[in-house]
């Protein structure tokens, strides 16, 4: 399937949401059905889904009212109850509330260029293969003259992307022992608000620090102003925010376990999926190749690895049941010089020069 793309110049959040909801009504409804099935397979009773969704909408309205308006608009445009769109945006929080295990997720690599060129970035996005049809590329203008380019899922307001100020985000889920407590601001909402409002890494950090969350995620924030670049990892969790800096060579890599010394004491993903440690080791081992790759195809190719204990390119196991069918659905890179997002359907083993979508 071709990755669908949605463009909007509407600066009113409700109108933008209604426009998206109408344009992708069928896809949004199918995404809801796919998540409804995933919630059930993960042990989330309908009452839990509805409760967390409603609480997440309340937290979003208090912390990011414009995004609450956009969510309401999406629901109206797609002719769905707003709580269902709230559940899509709080899908990480719902899964955290029931302690759903995860066996695969995303791998991110960023290298700063000492010569003053834009950073080189790449990420895989691993998720349940039955939700392949939920993927959506988006270009928005949340305020006049400020563009946001996103990869997300239909009905979900944010994930990874780049904005017109030269600030970009990569997005990896984490799991902490404190996850699943009182419902907080959805991490996907946090990511989107940063792209909507932040122009520097410090502004992004301040926004992340202001969001009370109930699920964990690392946002890898990358910035480039034309001559200087920077990267910072923001590990969000109910136990607090950890700020991670790149190594001495300007390299930052992250998979799905905490790197902060304090937060890692209560790590939950690693015991379920020790492969996250192998994937990080493999990213670090491949640093010379990834740093030297000046185009996204070469970077993606450098991530080709199907070994079970370090599977950077993920495919479901034969016979795996729904809820345990993990696949690399998209490979992504940020072009911070052009302020654009590059997306290729599938994992590194499917990447070719002609398959990139640039938005």
* Domain 107-358 listed as CATH 3.40.640.10: no
Query: Greater confidence, 276 or 101?
Result: 276
pLDDT digits (tens, 9 = 90+) for 118-161: 999 999 999 999 999 999 999 999 999 999 999 999 999 999 99
Task: List the domain boundaries for the chain.
Answer: 12-97, 107-358
- CATH number corresponding to 12-97: 1.10.10.2120
Beta partners for residue 120, in sequence order: 111
pLDDT at 342 over 60: yes
pLDDT in the model for residue 95 = 96
For residues 309-329, average pLDDT: 87
pLDDT at 236 over 70: yes
pLDDT digits (tens, 9 = 90+) for 248-276: 999 999 999 999 999 999 999 988 889 99
pLDDT at 313 over 90: yes
Could you tell me the pLDDT band of residue 309, with boundaries at 50, 70 and 90? confident
Please state the pTM of the whole predicted model.
0.96
pLDDT in the model for residue 272 = 83
């Amino acid at each position: 399937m071709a990755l669908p793309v949605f463009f909007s110049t509407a600066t009113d959040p409700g109108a933008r949401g209604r426009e998206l909801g109408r344009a992708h009504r069928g896809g949004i409804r199918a995404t809801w059905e796919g998540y409804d099935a995933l919630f059930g397979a993960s042990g989330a009773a309908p009452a839990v889904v509805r409760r967390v969704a409603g609480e997440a909408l309340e937290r979003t309205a208090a912390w990011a009212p414009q995004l609450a308006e956009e969510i309401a608009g999406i629901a109206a445009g797609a002719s769905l109850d707003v709580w269902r769109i709230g559940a899509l945006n709080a899908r990480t929080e719902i899964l955290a509330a029931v302690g759903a295990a995860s066996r695969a997720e995303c791998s991110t690599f960023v290298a700063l260029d000492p010569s003053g060129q834009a950073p080189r970035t790449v990420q895989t996005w691993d998720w349940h293969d039955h939700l392949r049809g939920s993927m959506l590329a988006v270009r928005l203008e949340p305020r006049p003259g400020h563009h946001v380019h996103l990869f997300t899922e239909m009905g979900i307001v944010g994930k990874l992307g780049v904005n017109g100020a030269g600030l970009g985000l990569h997005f990896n889920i984490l799991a902490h022992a404190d996850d699943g407590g009182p419902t907080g601001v959805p991490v996907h909402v946090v990511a989107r608000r940063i792209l909507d409002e932040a122009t520097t890494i410090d502004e992004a950090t301040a926004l992340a620090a202001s969001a009370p969350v109930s699920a964990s995620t690392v946002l890898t924030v990358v910035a480039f102003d034309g001559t200087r670049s920077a990267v910072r990892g923001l590990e969000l969790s109910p136990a607090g925010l950890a700020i991670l800096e790149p190594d001495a060579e300007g390299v930052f890599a992250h998979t799905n376990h905490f790197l902060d010394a304090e937060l890692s004491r209560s790590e939950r993903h690693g015991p379920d999926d020790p492969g996250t440690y192998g994937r990080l080791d493999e990213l670090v081992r491949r640093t010379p190749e990834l740093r030297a790759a000046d185009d996204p195809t070469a970077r993606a190719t450098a991530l080709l690895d199907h070994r079970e204990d370090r599977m950077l390119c993920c495919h479901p196991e034969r016979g795996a049941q729904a809820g345990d069918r993990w696949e690399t659905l998209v490979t992504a890179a940020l072009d911070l010089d052009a302020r654009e997002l590059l997306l290729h359907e599938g994992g590194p083993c499917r990447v070719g020069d002609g398959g990139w979508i640039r938005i």
